[in-house]
Chain A
Amino acid sequence: MSQKSGSLGRYFVIRLAMAVPMVLILLTLVFFMLRVAPGDPVTASAGGAKMTAEQIAAKRHAAGFDRPLINQYGEYLGNVVKGDFGTTISDHRKVTDIIVENGGATLTLALAALFVALVVGLPLGLLAGRYRDTGFDVAIRLFGIVTYAAPAFVLGALAQIVFVKKLGWLDDSSLQASPLIQASVPTKSHILIVDAAMAGDWNAVHNIFLHLILPSVTLGLIIVGVFIRMVRVNLIQTLRGDYVEAARARGIREHKVVTKHAFRNALIPVITVIGMQVALLLGGSVLTEKTFSWPGLGNQLINYLNARDYIAVQGIVTFIAVVVIVIGILIDFVNALIDPRVRY
């Protein structure tokens, strides 16, 4: 925390420069990890076909697998810089197409889940912190711990049993929308709910929204425990701060002290927490997507892993990791904007 310079611009540049080696290491790790793994991407992606030796050679050549690893690596890096993640071996899709076509579903799910986590987690965390050590606190903390302990697929299965099978509220909980609705929405942004809104089809928006509820609540609950915990701890610690003491000493009512002074300060670090949750959110989305047949990147990743489609796996994994890193930078930047102490 040296105070050498308070320039926001400089901070941003440094933070960005620091991300470059991280991204590079990441690309390297992903590339080599997948190359070391057993199994041959060429024959694997051919399903059960028995290929002739020439075909295998042709395919290896096409995919560049017949060249020295280091050349492949160099070329891969070069292509990634150009925004080209390659074309999948198993079904000839451009990885960028996968990201565009399926990323929308994951983005929708992740944002909705984050929203759920915030809406549920912040008030509960504040309540728990405010009424520390009361029954409230205990119940809320336990809720947070239990939802954290339950894997996404357990929560998902539970949600399906309760809301779909028993209560019959959301009768189709999988997919992004009813098939006919989805078919009717013209594709523009590849984010279904946005496309529907752009087309002014509110009926479709409604339908898509209904489909989103269960998956996003499931995923949201996974991270809600983290929010509760953070907000609670922050509030408790803020309540011990000098200025809170000072406010109390001035005779300001406890209620006002808490709402006026403590809440705001307790919530600021939440931005950081959101940033840290992105990785958890994207990891959890793999399980959630699978449980709800949600057509996002996580589901695609599982498919391509099963097909041993290295190009696809490499591309999707790299993309997800870069997203995590970029969001980390943005969060740090926002933090620096808010809190001038966080600078170099």
Chain B
Amino acid sequence: MARTKRVIAAATVGILAASMAACSSDDGSGKGNGGNPSGGAGGGGTVILGTTDKVGSLDPAAAYDLPSWTIIRNTFQKLYRFPEGSTTAVPDAAQKCDFPDPKTYSCTLKPGQTFSDGTPLTAKDVKFSFERMLKINDPNGPAPLLGSMDTVDAPDDNTVVFHLKNADVTFASVVASEVGAIVPSSGKYPLDKLADNSTLLGSGAYKLAKYTPGQQAVFELNDKYKGDIKPANGKFLIQYFTESSALKQAIENGTVDVAVTGLSPTDITDLRGKSSQGIKVIDGIGSTIRFMTFNVKSAPVDNKAVRQAIAQTVDRESMIKQAYNGTVDPLYSLVANGFAGHADAFKDKYGAPSKDKAKAILDAAGVKTPVDLTLWYNPGHYGATTADEYTEIKRQLDASGLFKVNLQTTEWEAYKKSFAAGEYAAWGAGWQPDFPDSDNYIEPFLRPDGTFHVNYDNPAAKALIEKERTSADPAARNAAFAEAQKIAADDVPYIPLWQGKQVAVTRPGVEGVDKTLDVSVLVSFWVISKK
């Protein structure tokens, strides 16, 4: 079964949310904020992070969205983990893992580790966690990521052995993602059903002290934690907002110390002008991508020339300037910038936007212009700014004289159903990788019967996917990725438009936020400090 994943789930968040790449990243700190009478708890290094995220689940078996994964990242250990700012996994609960053969992945645990309630963490718990994930197989959960796993054994307290259905080098990355969170096998987590919704018991650097869904999550340091992470704060608080405007106000008046997801481009532009008040806007990279999608069996985009002409016409830079105030980066490949093997395939092929070249492509194929095109987009799921984005694209295509675009939108559920059923010829969509590997930008898109139902089936692309998935040699894999990106730029089942940048806004005295704005787009609480 092919691996499937959530398409930018996090973007659903606030009504105004969106424009930015997805996930929350920052935070704010606690004391001495204007307007915060210092009551109760608090204390020195408390950091308060404001976001418009909505947490799906605290149970790793059902958590498959960025806000939930952010919490899991900080409260659970995995066998390996991706440190902040890195796409290379390092040991976490495991001392060492490797592939003794291509279909076996074997790990040795560090001794003497415990969960935050003091129960020892053993190989049995690891086995339990993975088996539980597959057993529950929650439809909202990340179990599909473990598609290539067959069975898991725990021959002794410190050894875990995974048996895979087929050779898959990306399995090591999967295990290091949040799907690999280790839960205790005794007690709070039943094998066959989800835990109560406010239960959280892990062995990570933090533990959940108080949780009010949709309002607030309070994290304290886990004094039983034995790992390498050295938290720079004493307490971490996430405050969930429902309105982006309220979040903007909160960061301005110091109610929160760091704000991330959900600020609109207008908010960010405005906040950039407030540096005199000590408010800093920090730009980080992101891994969310947005693209136009074509059903290659549906008129008029069943004609490759039409798709190529659109790719030739769209002016990403201008659209980004108009709709996003430059808060995102143009993207010229399916693989996001910053990932191994990324190549600007669309730029190489099409160069600067040109309506003459586009006209030539259409003329050569004998296509009558203007081409009528119905283009769908969804602001409910991808954020209100998506409306501005697709309005811009329509304007560009119309202005070329080669297309007549009819812009359509509908509610997300109907949208998803319709594009899956092949009712749309052209529509907007987005993607957030589950683990930092270029494979995750290629395989879901270019395999036959891909995630986005574009009816695209190219044997050459399929062979390249097979090749990169079975090779352990980075150079060989990158070559395969480059080739696949070229094929995508030529066949144009997708037109990559932009890549999200994480943007965090901080108050004076807050440090370290830049370190957490990495491709995982999950906030690492421990790097943020507050004076």
Contacts and interface: CB of A to CB of B under 8 A. Distances in A.
Direct contact of A and B (CB under 8 A): yes
Contacts of B420: 50
Interface stretch (A2-10, A295-303, A327-335): A295-303
Interface in A164-184: 164, 171-176, 178-184
B242 A92 contact: no
A90 interface: yes
**Which of A56, A174, A300 counts the most chain B CB atoms within 10 A?**
A174
A180 B381 contact: no
The prevalent SS among residues of B at the interface is: loop
Interface string B36-62: 111111100010101000111101001
A189 interface: no
Given A52-B144, A293-B242, A306-B12, A181 B40 contact: yes
A131 B127 CA distance: 80
Contacts of B496: none
Given A39-B414, A92-B194, A180 B12 contact: no
B118 interface: no
Contacts of B165: none
A185 interface: yes
Contact of B243 (A92, A172, A174): A174
Interface string A57-74: 011000000000000000
Interface stretch (A13-21, A41-49, A252-260): A41-49
Interface residues of B, number: 68
Contacts of A237: none
**Which of B30, B37, B57, B210 counts the most chain A CB atoms within 10 A?**
B37
A182 to B, nearest CB: 6
Contacts of A182: 212, 215-216
B274 to A, nearest CB: 14
Contacts of A175: 215, 239, 241, 246, 250, 255
Interface string B341-353: 0000000000000
**Which of A172, A181, A299, A308 counts the most chain B CB atoms within 10 A?**
A172
A38 B54 CA distance: 24
A187 interface: yes
B110 interface: no
Contact of B246 (A51, A174, A206, A306): A174
B41 A184 contact: yes
A195 to B, nearest CB: 11
A291 interface: yes
Nearest to B55: A91
A58 B37 contact: no
Interface string B161-198: 00000000000000000000000000000000010010
A58 B197 contact: no
A184 B39 contact: yes
A40 interface: yes
A102 interface: yes
A207 B255 CA distance: 12
A35 interface: no
A97 interface: yes
Given A49-B4, A92-B194, A306-B380, A172 B239 contact: no
B111 interface: no
Size category, A interface: 35 or more
Contact of A179 (B48, B57, B412, B413): B48
B237 interface: yes
B37 A178 contact: yes
A165 B110 CA distance: 54
Contact of B212 (A101, A203, A206, A289): A101
Contacts of A180: 30-31, 36, 38-42, 46, 48, 237
Nearest to A60: B139
8 contacts: A47-B9, A52-B4, A93-B213, A173-B249, A176-B215, A179-B216, A290-B242, A306-B15
Nearest to B33: A178
Contacts of A90: 56, 140
Contact of B37 (A46, A160, A181, A187): A181
A207 B212 contact: no
Contacts of A58: 137, 139
B62 A92 contact: yes
Given A178-B35, A178-B37, A180-B36, A48 B416 contact: yes
Contacts of A84: none
Contacts of B59: 92
Counting from the closest, the 8 A-B pairs by CB-CB distance are: A184-B40, A48-B7, A293-B246, A39-B413, A174-B246, A47-B9, A44-B413, A59-B139
A97 B140 CA distance: 20
B9 A93 contact: no
Contact of A51 (B4, B50, B417): B4
B30 to A, nearest CB: 6
B8 interface: yes
Given A176-B215, A179-B237, A182-B216, A91 B242 contact: no
Given A58-B137, A93-B197, A306-B380, A48 B9 contact: yes
B197 A94 contact: yes
A239 interface: no
Interface in A274-326: 289-293, 295, 299-300, 302-303, 306-308
A262 interface: no
B249 A172 contact: yes
A138 B36 CA distance: 42
Given A97-B213, A175-B241, A300-B214, 5 more contacts: A49-B6, A90-B140, A101-B213, A182-B212, A203-B40
B417 A43 contact: yes
A52 B145 CA distance: 12
A245 interface: no
Nearest to B30: A180
B215 A183 contact: no
Contacts of B35: 171-172, 178
A174 to B, nearest CB: 4
A77 to B, nearest CB: 25
Contacts of B48: 179-180
Contacts of B8: 48
Contacts of A174: 241, 243, 246, 249-250
A43 to B, nearest CB: 7
B199 to A, nearest CB: 11
B439 interface: no
B425 interface: no
B242 A46 contact: no
Interface string B330-373: 00000000000000000000000000000000000000000000
A182 B451 CA distance: 42
A75 interface: no
A207 B42 CA distance: 15
Contacts of A97: 197, 213
Contact of B413 (A50, A176, A308): A308
A179 B55 CA distance: 17
A204 B40 contact: yes
B482 interface: no
Nearest to A50: B4
Nearest to B36: A178
Interface string A208-240: 000000000000000000000000000000000
Contact of A307 (B12, B64, B215): B12
A82 B404 CA distance: 57
Contacts of A171: 34-35, 253
Contacts of B36: 178-181
A38 B139 contact: no
Given A176-B215, A180-B31, A180-B48, A49 B9 contact: yes
A178 B5 contact: no
Given A45-B140, A175-B239, A303 B41 contact: no
